[in-house]
Amino acid sequence: MHWWLPLKGSTFAGEIDGLFTAILIITGIAFFVVEVGVIWFSVKYRHRPERKAFYVHGSTTAEVVWTAIPAVTVIGLGVISNHYWKQIKGRESVPPDAYPIAIHAKQFEWQMTYPGPDAEPGTADDFTVRNQLHVPLGRNVVVALTAEDVIHSFWVPVFRVKQDAVPGMTIRAWFQPTVPGEYELGCAELCGMGHYKMRARVFVHPPDEFDAWVKQQLEGGAEQ
């Protein structure tokens, strides 16, 4: 459904889109039924000069039915959503082999720090790039989000990933890119007057191309 949803660019994009579509269909049906009922009652019981108002006692059965159906529906959606939540954002959901990238958000830019030759984040050979997120195609990636000033929100629509970055906390989010290309990263939390320009570019590279980019940065193309 590329005509109304973004490109599916990660492994769990299809599952999230499926849940979104299911909720949209259910709420759409409920909206249609309610609106038809409102119109029908408005016409059927409209004021007429020869008609006298009278009291009608409610139906317990009807009340139970229209309460039970939404309750069961919401519980069912909650159970399904919980499965996806644990898979995507659960404490143990991050794959152990995920490539680590530290992302620091501040008004109004993103700073991406990549591990150096030792492949260990947080060491002296790391390098930092502003407003560019480069990731390898088909490999699990975990980002460690921090914020300097206010709450920001890391949001890449094609990955179906959105996670707040909160001052004083380090919050992880993971994804696996499935489609090479250039995409957009935005801040999804109102973070000040310059919020509208807090954007970055996301580049999904084939593995060899990503390795070549990392090598180029280590040779002097990025801030150390």
DSSP output for 64-77: HHHHHHHHHHHHHH
pTM, to two decimals:
0.83
Residues 167-199 as b or e (16 or more Cβ within 10 Å = b): eeeebebbbbbbeeeebebbbbbebeeebeebe
Query: Are the CB atoms for 136 and 210 separated by under 8 Å?
Result: yes
Residue 194 is inside which H or E element, if any?
A: none
Find all residues with CB under 8 Å of 210, minimum gap 6, and list them: 134, 135, 136, 137
Give the pLDDT of the chain (224 residues) as one tens digit per residue.
567 889 999 999 999 999 999 999 999 999 999 999 999 989 988 888 887 877 878 888 989 998 999 999 999 999 989 988 888 888 888 999 999 999 999 999 999 999 998 888 888 889 999 999 999 999 999 999 999 999 999 999 999 999 999 999 999 999 999 999 999 999 999 999 999 999 999 999 999 999 999 999 988 755 54
User: What H or E segment, with its residue span, contains residue 112?
Assistant: strand 109-114
Rounded CA separation 69/125 (Å): 58
Q: What domains, with CATH codes, occur in the chain?
A: 13-89 (1.10.287.90), 99-221 (2.60.40.420)
In sequence order, the β-bridge partners of residue 202 are: 133, 183
Q: What is the largest CA-CA distance in the chain?
A: 91
